[in-house]
């Protein structure tokens, strides 16, 4: 799936999403986001590196003309000092955040408007596919 997104500053970002069924050690999905200055994408790699992100700033977008690339792997998510299985980290983080909100009144991990906007991207994508991949605007719920 490919999404073309107009950002709040007017810039365009192109995202590509793929599924990695059958690739050894994959965690099933891959995402790549490209803008005018570079790209950020999940790595397609085995083992612990499968959780890493590659960030590349293109030379044409830098004053020195040099391309810069970094790779980042997030630290393990810990509960009571013990690492959680990588496949469960997101679920555990969301459940812990929900629990903190319900029990202590902590703010949600993702603000409501941002969460609704994120879900609307999926709805717009489904509508686009149903219309033969025609462009479909995502409603603005920013509250401006």
What are the residue boundaries of the structural domains of the chain, listed by start?
Answer: 1-60+67-74, 75-134
Check residue 50 and give its pLDDT. 82
Summarised one tens digit per residue, pLDDT across range 72-105 is: 998 999 999 999 998 899 899 999 999 999 999 9
When pLDDT is averaged across residues 36-62 and rounded to a whole number, the result is: 87
Q: What secondary structure, in 3-state letters, does the chain show? A: CEEEEECCCCCEEEEEEEECCCCCCCCCEEEEEECCCEEEEECCCCHHHHHCEEEEECHHHCCCCCCEEEEECCCCCEECCEECCHHHHHHHHHHHHHHHHHHHCCCCCCCHHHHHHHHHHHHHHHHHHHCCCCCCCCCCCCCC
pLDDT: which is higher, 58 or 117: 58
Check residue 18 and give its pLDDT. 75
Check residue 23 and give its pLDDT. 57
């Amino acid at each position: 799936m490919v999404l073309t997104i107009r950002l709040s500053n007017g810039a365009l970002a192109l995202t590509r999403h793929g599924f990695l069924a059958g690739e050894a050690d994959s965690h099933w999905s891959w995402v790549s986001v490209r803008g005018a200055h570079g790209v950020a994408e999940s790595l397609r790699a085995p083992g612990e590196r499968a959780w890493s992100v590659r960030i590349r700033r293109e030379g044409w977008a830098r004053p020195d003309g040099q391309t810069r690339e970094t790779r980042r792997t997030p630290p393990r998510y810990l509960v009571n000092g013990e690492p959680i299985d990588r496949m469960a980290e997101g679920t555990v983080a969301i459940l812990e955040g929900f629990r903190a909100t319900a029990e202590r009144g902590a703010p949600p991990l993702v603000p409501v408007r941002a969460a609704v906007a994120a879900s609307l991207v999926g709805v717009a994508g489904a509508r686009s596919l149903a219309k033969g991949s025609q462009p479909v605007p995502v409603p603005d719920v920013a509250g401006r």
